[in-house]
Amino acid sequence: MDIKKIIREQKHKLMWILLFSILLAGIIVFQAFLIVEIIQSIFVENEPFEAVITLLILLFIFLIARVLIIHLIGSVSLRLGFQAKKKIRSQLLNHFSTKTITPTNEDQTGKKISLMLDTVDEVDPYFSEYLPKVIQASTIPITILVVIFFFNYPSGLIILFTAPFIPLFMAIIGMKTRDKSEEQIEQMNAFSAQFLDTLQGLKTLKIFGKSRQSETKIETSTLGFRDATMDVLKVAFASAFMMELISMLSMGLIALEVSFRMIIFDTITFHTAFFVLLLAPEFYVFLKELSSAFHSGRESLTAIKKIDEEISTESQDVSWGNHKLQKDSPSTIKLDNVEMQYPNEGFSLGPINLHIDPYEKIALIGESGSGKTTLFHLLAGLMEPKAGTIYLDGYAKSDVDSSSWFNQLGYLSQNPYIFAGTIAENISLSTNKRVNDQDIWNALKQVELDSLVSTLENGIHTTVGEGGRGLSGGEKQRLALARILVKQPSILLFDEPTTGLDLKTEKVIQNTLEQLTEKMTVITIAHRVKTIQSSDRIWIMEDGKIGADGTHKELKHSNKFYQSLITSTRKENIE
């Protein structure tokens, strides 16, 4: 992740902040000058109140202008932070979506969610607070210092002597903050992962009587996060105290200096002394604000480092090109010496050599862990092979436009994911074409879900998934099948359900698929003998390789695994 690039993209907003800061510096100086003029006229020169009405009106205008400028700086700063977070989240989402899928995901879901939400939010202060305060501290205090030097150089010398202590202390605090912030983010990620994993597996934990034990683990993670947060706050409070102490001592020295010069030595007028005393606090106000923002900025840099580590993690992205595939028929698929190796795992796939013609029906069978799902993901374009080439219509996959491939692809898994949204949204997300309500109802009727949906108060606009109406396993399968019906893909990858479906649901799915798949290429991870026997070809996976390829008639006489599968199925049917 290139932070400098993000900053360059937001350069126009930073330029606006710089312009507003220069205007604010001028307003602060003239505001102080007007206050001194009013006090000088009324209390020193004993002029009537009417003599300062014009000055009071001007002071009111400058006060309004100051509030307006501060509001504008804050507004631009917030937009700067929002755009930066949007850009970073987009980079993270792109990283996660293009990352090769592995069956055993090393990163916890909770950690990813925490990274996308909490850690990215931690980046916000760097853009919305720290950078704007750096610009303000680089313009306003310098302007004030120049004016103070012009009117009373001894006060300027005191400021020059004391001011460096603030950035020096900021650097010391910054080093401490970095370590504490890293510890806090680690604790936050650990807590998020632990909490989400526990919620997802709560039913299992209760069944095995481990809910209390899990509760203790969550409590430990919570206390660890609390302690890490308190350590960060301790550093923040120490930083704030030291900034206040330095600025108070500096102000005391300036007040002492102008008092001696005005009362004892009579070398400075009241007007100048008061003017300097009004400007000096403004100088330190912006340095103290920078100090506070610096602390937040250091925490943000720690968060940026964590995000950068994730984005920089070596992973083989799925490569695509620009060639558009034809739409009138399913693409021919060819795998030429394709191999796949999972990182830090012993399993490897391949080399695989196969050819799939349009409209073929392929059944993929094999023992658990033989590589069926991995081959499925490779065919779908969700994984990048370590070696070899996948050809689509004679073009290497790396030269093919991804959208033209996914537009003709349908995927029906054993555990389809139902997104948080309405039934209509879940069904229509499978296609880019316009889908009206009647199309949705037609699909639901084909999968025999229309009667259930019609009883719901909002019908197809009923919210399901997270935060909505729950669905059974069979209802999820049929809803996912409705997605396929609406999309009408030319190639279907289907992982046949083995358990959890009642006979009626299974029959609905099978009947619908038989009608649907007449005009498409179908590759099925098959578990039912009927599906296997009706396929044009059967692939038997053995230890990451295709051990056998043939028809039902060929394999039932030549392959021992297939023979044992047929025999065991017959025994189950008899029993």
Instruction: Answer whether residue 436 shows pLDDT above 60.
Output: yes
Band of pLDDT at residue 69, cut at 50, 70 and 90 = very high
Residue 376 lies in a domain: yes
Domain shared by 349 and 307, yes or no: no
| pLDDT value for 488 | 86
> CA-to-CA distance for 125 and 295, rounded, in angstroms?
9
| pLDDT value for 264 | 87
Buried b or exposed e, range 5-30, using 16+ CB within 10 angstroms: ebbeebeebbebbbbbbbbbbebbbb
Instruction: Answer whether residue 230 shows pLDDT above 60.
Output: yes
Domain shared by 358 and 250, yes or no: no
The mean pLDDT value for 347-361 works out to: 87
| pLDDT value for 270 | 92
Q: What is the DSSP annotation of 504-538?
A: HHHHHHHHHHHHHGGGSEEEEE--SHHHHHTSSEE
Domain shared by 28 and 116, yes or no: yes
Q: Tell me which of 81-90, 180-189, 360-369, 541-550 is least confident.
A: 180-189
Band of pLDDT at residue 273, cut at 50, 70 and 90 = very high
| pLDDT value for 151 | 93
Q: What is the DSSP annotation of 468-504?
A: SB---HHHHHHHHHHHHHHH--SEEEEE---SS--HH
Instruction: Answer whether residue 555 shows pLDDT above 50.
Output: yes
Band of pLDDT at residue 575, cut at 50, 70 and 90 = very low
Beta bridge partners of 389: 336
Domain shared by 244 and 291, yes or no: yes
Reading the block at residue 150, the tokens are 């012009």
Is the pTM above the cut of 0.75?
Answer: no
For residue 133, give its domain range.
3-312
From the centroid of its chain, how far is CA 415? 24
Instruction: Answer whether residue 122 shows pLDDT above 90.
Output: no
CB 485 within 8 A of CB 446: yes
Q: Tell me which of 133-137, 203-207, 377-381, 472-476 is least confident.
A: 203-207
Residue 355 lies in a domain: yes
Domain shared by 305 and 344, yes or no: no
Which residues contact residue 394 at a Cβ distance below 8 angstroms, ignoring those fewer than 6 apart? 332, 334
Q: Tell me which of 16-25, 238-247, 323-332, 389-398 is least confident.
A: 238-247
Domain shared by 116 and 188, yes or no: yes
Radius of gyration of the chain (CA): 35
Band of pLDDT at residue 30, cut at 50, 70 and 90 = very high
Which residue, 261, 281, 312, sits at the end of a domain?
A: 312
Domain shared by 169 and 267, yes or no: yes
Q: What share of the chain is helix, strand, coil (3-state, %, to 5)?
A: 65, 10, 20
| pLDDT value for 136 | 94
Band of pLDDT at residue 35, cut at 50, 70 and 90 = very high
Residue 318 lies in a domain: no
The mean pLDDT value for 66-85 works out to: 94
Among the listed residues 454, 450, 506, 513, the one whose alpha carbon sits nearest the alpha carbon of residue 481: 513
Reading the block at residue 566, the tokens are 């047929």
In one letter, which amino acid is 66?
Answer: R
Residue 132 lies in a domain: yes
Domain shared by 369 and 258, yes or no: no
Band of pLDDT at residue 104, cut at 50, 70 and 90 = very low
More reliable by pLDDT, 63 or 516: 63
**pLDDT tens for each residue of 295-321:** 777 778 878 888 887 777 666 677 888
| pLDDT value for 3 | 77
The mean pLDDT value for 42-49 works out to: 88
| pLDDT value for 108 | 55
Which residue, 312, 346, 368, sits at the end of a domain?
A: 312
Domain shared by 279 and 190, yes or no: yes
Q: Tell me which of 363-367, 397-401, 471-475 is least confident.
A: 471-475
Beta bridge partners of 202: none
| pLDDT value for 431 | 79
| pLDDT value for 170 | 66
> CA-to-CA distance for 399 and 541, rounded, in angstroms?
28
3-state secondary structure of 387: strand
| pLDDT value for 24 | 96
Instruction: Answer whether residue 75 shows pLDDT above 70.
Output: yes
Instruction: Answer whether residue 168 shows pLDDT above 70.
Output: yes
Residue 11 lies in a domain: yes
**pLDDT tens for each residue of 283-299:** 988 888 887 787 777 77
Q: What is the CATH number of the domain that holds 238?
A: 1.20.1560.10
- DSSP run (H or E) holding 364: strand 361-366
| pLDDT value for 574 | 43
The pair phi, psi for residue 351, each rounded to 5°, is -70, 140
Band of pLDDT at residue 56, cut at 50, 70 and 90 = very high
CB 28 within 8 A of CB 141: no
> CA-to-CA distance for 440 and 486, rounded, in angstroms?
7
| pLDDT value for 340 | 86
Reading the block at residue 132, the tokens are 């704007």
Domain shared by 308 and 388, yes or no: no
Q: Tell me which of 30-44, 382-396, 436-450, 487-501 is least confident.
A: 487-501
Domain shared by 107 and 28, yes or no: yes
Band of pLDDT at residue 78, cut at 50, 70 and 90 = very high
Residue 422 lies in a domain: no
Q: How many CB atoms neighbour CB 530 within 10 A?
A: 10
Which residue, 312, 346, 361, sits at the end of a domain?
A: 312
Q: Tell me which of 44-53, 405-414, 462-471 is least confident.
A: 462-471
Residue 451 lies in a domain: no
Share of the chain above pLDDT 90, in %: 24
Q: What is the CATH number of the domain that holds 394?
A: 3.40.50.300
CB 524 within 8 A of CB 362: yes
Query: 511-518: which pairs have CB atoms within 8 A and are 24 or more residues apart?
Result: 512/446, 512/447, 512/481, 512/485, 513/481, 516/484, 516/485, 516/492, 517/361, 517/492
Residue 457 lies in a domain: no
Q: How many residues does this entry show for the chain?
A: 575
Number of domains observed in the structure of the chain: 2
Domain shared by 244 and 155, yes or no: yes
Query: 432-439: which pairs have CB atoms within 8 A and are 24 or more residues apart?
Result: 432/407, 435/486, 439/486
What letter does residue 330 receive in the DSSP assignment?
A: P
> CA-to-CA distance for 389 and 523, rounded, in angstroms?
19
| pLDDT value for 421 | 85
**pLDDT tens for each residue of 394-415:** 999 989 998 888 888 888 887 8
